[in-house]
Amino acid sequence: MDKKFRVPRVWSNRELEKFGHLFSGKGVNVSGWKDIDKEGKKYRDYFSNISEYWITNYKSEARGFQGDQENEIFLDLEEDLDESMYSKFDVVFNHTVLEHIFDVNKAFENLCKLSNDIVIVVVPFLQEQHAEYGDYWRFTPLAVEKLFQKNNMDMIYINYNDASDDSIYIFAIGTKNKDKWNKIQTESTNQIKVINKFMLGTRVIKNSFFDTIKTKIFYSFKRLKR
């Protein structure tokens, strides 16, 4: 995996390690494909205290391409969610999927309907276009907060890597039971109080700007020397 993609992926794994063990009951990785974290583990391993773990994937026609998945459900996030799936899980996890779904509002609504409490999302803020199956959206912290609010959930945690030359991911947690999760809200890396002020991506944009200027100066100087 290219470094600029690997760095945020590993970073988001470290974020999940902080919180995965806090949750109990039923968990689901939505559109989880093979449930792999790209570091040799399964995402299931992060949720050490849940009693059941499920995976959803897009189409039943793809059954088997992910290997022999246990507790697999086929679910199109752009379609109406069957009422039997409402509040089926205590924690819903969704990693870098939403950018590939055009009707992202419907998809986010379905994630929230699946959960009776916690929704964890990882989405790209800054990343080049990728994937042959569609790549439509990038998200700001304020957009993620608004999506939770629109679905009657409180965003209680948000963080983001902001490296100088790597892709930037956002890791966020929403809940339907805010009073229950003070431990998450008081985590030292929680950036929720500064998302209106924090200029996410500034370093990347600034570096790109100055790199362009330096390149232009370099070639102008070469022409002058001739």
Residue 211, in any domain of the structure: no
Among 54, 153, 147, smallest CA distance to 106 is for: 147
The reply to whether 221 falls in a domain is no
Percent of the chain with pLDDT over 70: 86
pLDDT tops 80 at residue 225: no
> What does the pLDDT read at residue 216?
44
Q: Looking at the domain assignment, is residue 134 inside a domain?
A: yes
| Least confident among 87-101, 107-121, 187-201 | 187-201
pLDDT band at 201 (very low <50, low <70, confident <90, very high): confident
Residue 154 in domain: yes
Summarize the chain as % helix, strand, coil (round to 5). Answer: 40, 25, 40
Identify the band that residue 197 occupies on the pLDDT scale cut at 50, 70 and 90: confident
Interaxial angle between packed helices 104-114 and 141-150, expressed in degrees from 0 to 180 and rounded to the nearest 10: 60
The reported pLDDT for the residue numbered 162 is: 83
**CA 158 – CA 206 distance, rounded (Å):** 23
How many domains does the chain divide into? 1
Cβ–Cβ under 8 Å, residues 169 and 16: no
For residue 214, pLDDT over 50 is answered with no
Task: Report the pLDDT value the prediction gives residue 217, as an integer from 0 to 100.
Answer: 44
Q: What percent of the chain has pLDDT over 90?
A: 72
CATH of the domain at 64: 3.40.50.150
pLDDT of residue 81: 97
Checking if the pLDDT of 132 tops 60, the result is yes
Print the domain residue range for 122.
3-195
Is residue 212 over pLDDT 80? no
Q: For residue range 86-106, list pLDDT tens digits in order.
A: 999 999 999 999 999 999 999
Residue 126 lies in a domain: yes
Q: How far is CA 140 from CA 99, 112, 137, 172, in A?
A: 12, 19, 10, 11
Q: Is residue 200 part of a domain?
A: no
- 217 lies in a domain? no
Tell me, yes or no, whether 159 lies in a domain.
yes
